[in-house]
Structure formats: structure tokens, C-alpha cells
Chains A and B, each alone.
Chain A
Amino acid sequence: MRTSDCGRTVLSAGLAAGLLATALASTPAPAKTPKDTLVLGWTLAIYRTLDPADIGETFVDEMMNNVCDPLVFQDYENPAKLAPGIAESWSVTDDALTYTFKIRQGLKFPSGNPVTAHDAAWSIQRNVKLNLNSAVMHKEWGFTDENVVESVTASDDHTLVVKVTEPFAPPLFLAQVFTGRAAFVLDRKEVMAHEKDGDWGNGWLSKTSACVGPYRVRTWKANDVFILERNDDYWRNEVKIKRIVVRHVPEGGAQRLLLEKGDIDIARNITSSDFAAIERNPDLVLFNNPMHSYWYIGLCTCDEVLQSRDIREAFKWLVDYKKLESTVMRNVGVARQSVVPIGAFGAIPVDDEPYRLDLDKARELIARAGHPDGFKKKLIIDQVFPFPEIAQHVQANAAKIGIELEIQPMAAAQLYGQFRSRDFESGIFAWTTNVPDAHGMVSRHVFNPDNRDEFKGTMFPAWRVGWDVAALGLNDKVLAAKMETDTEKRRRMYHEIQRVQLAESPFVYMFQKIENIAMRKEVKGLPITAFKKFYAKAYKE
């Protein structure tokens, strides 16, 4: 037949393809992760630097906390408790103005240099002088470019002395300043040997590490992979996992498949609908870790309509907190209206929070403010889950009382750019704090030293929305709580601040974030808190 020749050629091509497929199917079964290696799947979009003075990303922060030990640890189980780190002990003078740390003897940096108090003092000075991302952690507490060299000193090889200008509440000061990346002790000699153009070794440290910790950085490639390798003579405990491999997997669905197949041990970006599948799989464990992070609406008082307190309160009655919590936000967030997260020192109970979905109340409020027929506003949001979902929920409720919200999704770097420059009407934003204490949130959200445009207090969300906190007397209250040494009194002060915030603030706090960590059941002993993950304690069965 005239057609058969040609048909045969195509047939054979198809056959060849089929054969290739079968050949592949019969290649050795994919290797599972080895027992001494922990593999994580994570979306690592930004991946900039490893220098503790400059870290900005949650992921790098988490990893570097397993590479560098700080002066003081947050306890494995209870982050509010402190445990000895590079400093084996510490003391505070009665006037709360001088702190003395005893540096642990016999520790050595990877270079072989001994760890001394001079390294510790220099590391803090470096952080302040470099004035990068982490500098604010010290500058908030009165350390400046000018005073840091006199304030933070080593009196001998194993004694670090830190002087402060004001008598802060000691537990707060210790927890905020000495437990994180701003208190990593770096190898001064080694870093300075790689200094270039007065950069304090910033260029060199962006790709490597020079500190004491359970792990060392082996490889890091942006958008690809990050590998840590065990420090075999770690001082604190025996480290069982030899290697931690973090793979960049942008799709949550792909992470789930990898986890189910055992090609990764821990998935960090499981998405909404896959929770059920993880929960019903006997080989997997889903760990819900409440974070001290928020999703909240910011309403700019720079806008004529939103200037009205009543209008702003109306927004607080437009969210069905409980309903969203049990549906869209299930496993993702818990409803929270107070500025202080559940689990932090000084938080008011959830039952004391007043708002719920109440359209009549909202209608009444906007009528009282002179806008009975509603108005039109833009709502800027991040484009990733759950911003669009929350935004559409609020939009639908607002539409019922005549408020027309136009949702504008954008990239994070653009969203926060507009937020920081007061160039928006309303928006949904996220915020994370790094201490389990009310101070972490109120010092930014209920504190605004100067509300004028030219002050550019961009680090304070309160300034960004133009909330004149001073007029309500709150600035002083926040500062007073920061200095209060009586724990009970301090707690009461935060309760009072939260009550005013709930009634007056131009922020509608909606949800406190839950971090989902899906693990294979072989992974054991990994301490997970809202702030740290201690991989040095993990092992596989």
C-alpha cells in the first residue's frame, strides 16, 4: 500500500519514544534521603547574604541561627526563657544600666582562633557601624555609631561589658538584643583579614560564615540549593544530622509530592488544600506553629475619608474573623484583633476582643461620619495567598454597605514601597516580630515619635498610616513599659495599651500567622518555636 511506508516510519519513531519511556521506568528506584541527611523543600525566592549584620530573610535567619551561636539562647521549648550560649552566665547591676557577660572558655572558631570577649564586643560594634538590616536591633536600644565603642567593651578576654543609656526592663533587653543574629559572635581576625574598602568584611561574609555553631555553610546557590554541614566538635550537644540540604521548590504542590515520596523530609510551603492529604497520610506529620506575625489592614489617615475615626472603626466590623478562621485560614492563621500576638508576654485574652462581622454597626458608623452612601477606595495587597482571599472577603462585605474597594495586587517590594511612603489609601500588609514580648509589636505599631511627613519614620507602621499616637498619650506609655522592671505592672501597662489600640488604631489586625511544617514521621526531636528551629537536636529514626 502506498501509505504504509510512511506510516511505518512514524510508527517506529513512536515506538522508540515508548521504549525510552519504559527504559526510564525501569531505572533504579529513586534514592530516598539518607538517614544522616535532612532535606527541606522551601520556596527560597530571595537569597541575598549570609552576613548576620545584613540578613533580612526569614529563611536565611533560621538557617544562620543553626550556624552561629548567639551570646544567649532562647530555650528550646519556651522562647521566653533564656539559656546560656556563647556567654555562660550574665549579670545586671541594680540600676539596670550595666550588663556583664562571662564568655565561655575553650571555644574555637573554624579558623582555629579562640573565642574571646573582644570578638563579642567587636561583633556588636560591627553591626551598629555597618548600619545594615540588623543594625536597628541595637539602635532601638540607644546604641549609636558614636557611643557603641564605649558602650560595648571587653574588660578582659572573657568578660564582655555592655552599658546602656536608660534602665530598660532587663528580661526584655536581654531577650531582644542578645538572642538573635545581632548577637552572633564572629571571628574578628578572620573577618578583618578579608576586609575590603572598609566594609567590615561584609562582602566576604555574604557568602560564608566565621562563627561557632552546630553547622557550617557548605554550598549556597540562589534559587537552587543551600547546604549545611555538621561541625563535628560542637560544644553544646552531639549533633546527629550530618547534612542539611534545603532545596528551592517554588510550588507547594510539588513540595507535597516530594514529601509523600520521601524525596524530602520536611516541606515548608504546603498550601491550603493539601493539609487534608498530609493529615490523613500515616507517614506524615503536620506541625502547626503559631508565629508572631500578622496579616492586617492599614488605613491611611492621609486620606480625607479615612481620617475619620468612625470610618476606620467601621472596617473592623467588616471582617468575619471566626468564619474565615475556620475556612480560608484553617491551618494558616488564627483570628487576632489585638496588636499583641497570642503567646507573647502581655497579650490580652482572645475573649476580650470586641469585633465581629456586623454590617449594621458598620453602616451606622459610616452614616455618622457623613458617608451614609459609602465611598470608593483602593486597597493595595500582596499578590500571594492569603492576601487576595482576605481582600475579596472584605471587599464583598464592604460592598454591602456601599463601600467600593478596588483591589490592587502587586509584588511585595512595591507594596511596602507604597506603604512606607504614605502613598496609599488602604492596604493589607504583613508584619513579623522577633521577640515573644508585647514590646516587639507595640514599639513599632503603637509608637510614632513624630507624625510629620518630613520625619520619615518609615520603620514605624504607625507613622506610615499617619497615626498620631502621641495625641493619645501612647508614646509615653510604650516607653514607660519598656523601662518597667516590675513584671506584673508591665503586663498591666500592655493591657491598657491594647485596649486603646483596639478602639482607636487605624490598623485592623485580623490573623496571626500559623507556620505549617509538614514532616515525614521519621524526623524526630526537632525543636520548633515561633522564632527558632534547632536542627542540632533533630534525628531520624
Chain B
Amino acid sequence: MAVSDRDIEPVGALADRAVRRQVWLRRAGAAGRLVVSVFVTLLGLLALTFFIGRMLPIDPVLAVVGDQADQATYEMMYRKLGLDQPLYVQFWTYISSAARLDFGVGTFSGQEVASDIARVFPATLELATVALLVGVFLGIPMGVLAAVFRNSLIDHVTRIIGLIGYSTPIFWLGLMGLLVFYGMLGWVGGPGRVDSFYIDIVEPVTGSILIDAALADEWDIFWNAVSHIVMPGSILGFTALAYIARMTRSFMLEQLNQEYVITARVKGLSNRQVIWRHAFRNVAVPLITVIALSYGFLLEGAVLTETVFAWPGFGQYLTNALLQGDMNAVLGCTLVVGVIFIALNLLSDLLYRLLDPRTK
């Protein structure tokens, strides 16, 4: 598509009506194809989740009625959950209600799945955002440094630090971090989003406790929430760091070998200017894709972190739903995750096209 855009630009300058129309049609066609492909992907996602859900040997009725229930109660709940319907009917019911963003009531939470997701998702988003900031602000300088001093000790050390984050079981890191920084040193807040004292005081507006507290002018709560998010955020960010640092290094190496860098050096520009003004600027564009992708992975990777840090987020909700055989919740969550992945992919694609001078 990038190629076709390049062909079009000069022609557009000729201001030929027919050509313009053709351009418009082409763009509409591309947009249409995009919509169709997103739609098909979503449908496939739904079908896959439904299929997995039906394959699960977990008995959703038992998750509801418990082990001690008698058969009459069991059978009543079986019908109530619609499990006596033929599969295709269940699938159709499921697809059509999903289209209305109605995922039904979660069997293990007793609430509308849509409202549950609306409640737990901001917590994860908040966590992943902090993690991403940690990953970006540490990972990019590390990657640049590693590229500039390629194969030196600095390169090796930054790579190993990054890779350790990538290769350490996250819950181990989490529990140890809690033990040291919360249990022993008392530098950070413990598990949970705020201290017990502050629970349920701020009115949830955005669902992000940091923003809500700031909006409500409750700065004690804000700083308390900050002290709680630092640990899980850093630990989750550590896992993104390796990926971001590695990709930055790789992109930078490519740029540093380009002729313009050598020319710039010859022209007597300082090393700092060469690296940040010239080389890094060209790297920034592909890095956005990397960052967008790692954002997606962070949302997903939060499952274990949330468990360790008692973070009432999306990952925990989904894992619980899965283990309880709560298909309404699982299907709703999967759809949300799928949409986010697709959206992030599209977004990074768009940004790429907007920002990369070569695609203009």
C-alpha cells in the first residue's frame, strides 16, 4: 500500500478529477478491505474461543451450583445457562449478543461481564502503562548505548540485564521484590492498589485510581496509589525492557552504519548530535511499532503480576474465569483482548505511515 501511495502523490498534484476519483475509490477499497479483514478476524476469534470453551472439560454448572447440590438443582442451572440448546444455537446466541456488546452475566462474579470488564480493565491499563513507561525510559537509552558501544563491555552488560528481565519467572521476581522493598525496607506500598485505609473513598470516574484521585484532589490517595504501583509496574516493565532495548540496539546499529552518519561525523558534528539528532530520529519510527506491540504484550503479561500483587485487573479476572469454566466471562475478555491487539496493529501501521518520511 505504501507503494501505491507514493505513485499517487505527484499525480494528485496534476489535479485531474478522474485521477482523484480513482484515488478516492482506491482508498475506499483499501478501507473496505481493512474493515472486512478486521471483521473476519474478529469472527474467527469468536469462533475459536467458543470452540475452546466447548472443549473445556470444566463443568460450568458445577462452578455455579457447587459440589453438594442435588441433581434437580443441577439440571435447572444447566437449562438456565442454555447448555441444553444445540451447539449451533448456542453459537448463534453468543455471536448475536456479542455484537450488542452483551456478554451476559458472568457465572463466577454474578455481574454483567461487560460491566466487570469495564471495572477490571482500567486497573490493568494503568499497570501496563506504568510498565511501558519504565520499559521505554530505561530500554531505549540502554539499546542506544549498546549500539554505540557495540561488543564492548557496556553492550554485554546492558544486554544481559535486559535478558535477565526477559528470562526470569515474573512471579518469583514479584514476590522477592515485595519481600525486600515492602516487607523489609518499607519503601513501597504492599499488594493492592491502595492501602486499606483508602479503599473505596475516591469515586471511580476513569477507573484509574491515579487519575481519579488527582481529579478528586485527594493527593494523599494519589501518592499512596503511586507507592503501590511502583513495584508491579517496574517488575512488569522489566520484562518489556529487554524487547525494547534489543530492538533499539538493532535499529540503531543499522542507522549508525549508514552513510549520512559518517558524513555528519565528517562534517564535525558532535557525537551526541549525530546519535540523537540524526540516527535516533530515524529509529523513532520503527520503535513506535515495537512499543505499540509491547504494550499489547504487557496487557497480556500482567496475569501473573496481578496475582502476586493482588491487583484487581483483567488478567486475574480472565484466569479465574477460565478456571471456573465461566464461558461468558472468557468469551467477553477474549474479544476485548483481540480487539486491542488488532487496534494496536492498525495504529502502529497508521503511525508508521504518518511519521515515516520514506512512505510519503
Q: Give the residue name and chain of the A residue nearest to B265 (CB).
A: A2
Q: Which of A6, A224, A413, A457 has the most B CB atoms < 10 Å from its CB?
A: A413
A206 at the interface (CB under 8 A from B): yes
User: CB distance A413 to B275 under 8 Å?
Assistant: no
In this complex, which of B63, B64, B310 has the most chain A Cβ atoms within 10 angstroms of its Cβ? B310
Contact A30 B59 (CB under 8 A): no
Q: Are B62 and A17 in contact (CB under 8 A)?
A: no
CB neighbours of B271 from chain A (8 A): 2-3, 5-6
User: Would A37 and B196 be within 8 Å (CB), given that A5-B270, A254-B308, A261-B186 are in contact?
Assistant: yes
Interface string of A255-269 (1 = CB under 8 A from B): 001101101100000
| Interchain Cβ contacts within 8 Å, total number | 225
The interface residues of chain B lying within 8 Å CB-to-CB of A442 are: none
Q: A7 touches which one: B145, B187, B276 (CB < 8 A)?
A: B145
From B5-13, B34-42, B69-77, B281-289, give the one contacting chain A. Answer: B69-77
With A27-B227, A133-B65, A222-B116 known as contacts, the answer to whether A254 contacts B191 (CB < 8 A) is yes
Instruction: Tell me how far the C-beta of A77 lies from the nearest C-beta in chain B, rounded to whole angstroms.
Output: 27
**B330 on interface, CB distance cutoff 8 Å:** no
| Interface size class, chain B | 35 or more
Checking A9, A24, A32, A416 against B141 with a beta-carbon cut-off of 8 angstroms, the contacting residue is A9
Smallest CB gap from B179: residue in A: A257
Interface hit among A42-50, A311-319, A390-398 = A42-50
Do B144 and A6 touch across chains, with their CB atoms under 8 A apart?
yes
Q: Tell me whether A28 is interfacial, beta carbon within 8 Å.
A: yes
- Interface residues in B186-213 by Cβ distance below 8 A to A read 186-192, 195-200
Does the CB pair A263–B71 fall under 8 Å? no
Judge whether B293 is part of the interface by a CB distance below 8 angstroms.
no
Contacts of B308 in A (CB 8 A): 250-251, 254
Which residues of chain B in 139-197 are interfacial with respect to chain A, using CB atoms and an 8 Å cutoff?
A: 141-142, 144-145, 148-149, 175, 178-179, 182-183, 185-192, 195-197
Q: For the complex, give the distance between the alpha carbons of A28 and B195 in Å.
A: 12
Q: Is B68 an interface residue (CB 8 A)?
A: yes
Among A177-185, A241-249, A469-477, A527-535, the one that faces the other chain is: A241-249
Is B297 an interface residue, CB under 8 A from the partner?
Answer: no
- State in angstroms the CA–CA spacing of A21 and B138 once bound together: 14
Asked if A131 is an interface residue, CB under 8 A from chain B, the answer is: yes
Inter-subunit contact B70/A33 (CB<8 Å): no
Nearest opposing residue in chain A for B65, CB measure: A133
Q: How far is the CA of A459 from the CA of B72 in the complex (A)?
A: 10
Q: Which chain A residues border B141 with CB–CB below 8 Å?
A: 9-10, 13
B248 to chain A minimum Cβ distance, whole angstroms, is: 12
Chain A nearest Cβ from B294, distance in angstroms: 18
B71/A457 in contact, CB under 8 A: yes
Among residues of A, the one whose C-beta sits closest to the C-beta of B75 is: A456
Q: Bound state CA distance, A136 and B74, in angstroms?
A: 11
Q: Does B226 contact A (CB under 8 A)?
A: yes
Contact A459 B137 (CB under 8 A): no
Verify if B272 is at the interface (C-beta below 8 Å from A): yes
B84 on the A face (CB < 8 A): no
Q: Of the candidates A17, A30, A136, A253, which one forms a contact with B69 in the assembled complex, judged by CB atoms under 8 Å apart? A: A136
- The reply to whether the CB of A96 lies closer than 8 angstroms to some CB of chain B is no
**Which chain A positions have C-beta within 8 A of B179?**
253, 257
B57 within 8 A of A: yes
Is A420 positioned at the interface, with any CB of B under 8 Å from its CB?
Answer: yes
Most buried by B among A29, A207, A261: A261
Of the residues A13, A27, A131, contact of B72 by C-beta under 8 Å: A131
From residue 10 to 24 of chain A, which have CB atoms closer than 8 A to chain B?
10, 13-14, 16-17, 21, 24
A261-B323 in contact given A10-B145, A225-B312, A247-B310 (Cβ < 8 Å) = no
Contact check, A9 vs B192: say whether CB atoms are below 8 A apart: no
Q: Is A219 an interface residue (CB 8 A)?
A: yes
Given that A46-B63, A456-B71 are contacting pairs, would A6 and B198 also be in contact in the complex, using a CB cutoff of 8 Å? Answer: no
Determine if B110 is an interface residue (Cβ-Cβ < 8 Å): yes
Q: Give the nearest-CB partner of B273 in chain A.
A: A5
Check: B121 CB closer than 8 A to any chain A CB.
no
Query: Chain B, 290-325, contact with A by CB distance < 8 Å: what is the 0/1 string?
Result: 000000000000000001111010001100100111
How far, in angstroms, from A45 to B106 measured CA to CA in the complex?
Answer: 13
User: Is A276 on the interface with B (CB-CB < 8 A)?
Assistant: no
Compute how far the CA of A57 lies from the CA of B324 in the bound complex, rounded to whole angstroms.
13
Q: Could you say which residues of chain A place their CB within 8 Å of the CB of B217? A: none
Question: Is A193 close to B, CB under 8 A?
Answer: no
* A30, A135, A420: the one within 8 Å of B195 (CB): A30
If A27-B223, A254-B310 touch, does A222 touch B199 (CB 8 Å cutoff)?
no
Report yes or no: A416 in contact with B59, Cβ–Cβ below 8 A. Answer: yes
Q: Is B16 an interface residue (CB 8 A)?
A: no
Does B355 count as interface, using CB distance less than 8 angstroms? no
If A253-B175, A261-B182, A413-B60 touch, whether A222 touches B106 (CB-CB below 8 Å) is: yes
In the complex, A517 has a CB within 8 A of chain B:
no
Chain A contacts of B175 at CB under 8 A? 251, 253-254
- Checking B116, B190, B220, B320 against A45 with a beta-carbon cut-off of 8 angstroms, the contacting residue is B320
Complex Cα distance, B189 from A257, in Å, reads 11
Say yes or no: A257 contacts B183, CB within 8 Å.
Answer: yes
Q: Return the chain A residue nearest B108 by Cβ.
A: A46
Check if B58 is an interface residue, CB within 8 A of chain A: yes
B47-90, CB under 8 A of A: which get 1 and which 0?
00000000011111011111111111110110000000000000
Interface status of A411 (Cβ within 8 A of chain B): yes
- Check A223 against B320 for contact (C-beta < 8 Å): yes
Q: Cβ of A224 and Cβ of B312 under 8 Å apart?
A: yes
- Distance between A62 CB and nearest chain B CB, rounded to angstroms: 15
Cβ-based interface call for A236 (8 A):
no
Beyond known contacts A222-B109, A223-B317, A224-B120: 14 more, CB 8 A cutoff: A5-B272, A6-B145, A6-B275, A10-B145, A32-B197, A47-B108, A48-B64, A227-B199, A251-B307, A253-B175, A254-B310, A257-B182, A411-B324, A457-B71
Can you pick out 24 interface pairs between chain A and chain B where the beta carbons lie within 8 Å of each other?
A: A6-B275, A10-B141, A13-B141, A14-B138, A21-B187, A24-B227, A30-B195, A32-B197, A46-B320, A221-B119, A222-B109, A224-B120, A249-B192, A250-B308, A253-B179, A257-B183, A258-B191, A410-B57, A413-B60, A413-B62, A414-B59, A417-B58, A419-B67, A420-B67
By Cβ-Cβ distance, the 6 closest A-B pairs, closest first, are A5-B272, A222-B109, A417-B59, A224-B312, A56-B66, A459-B70
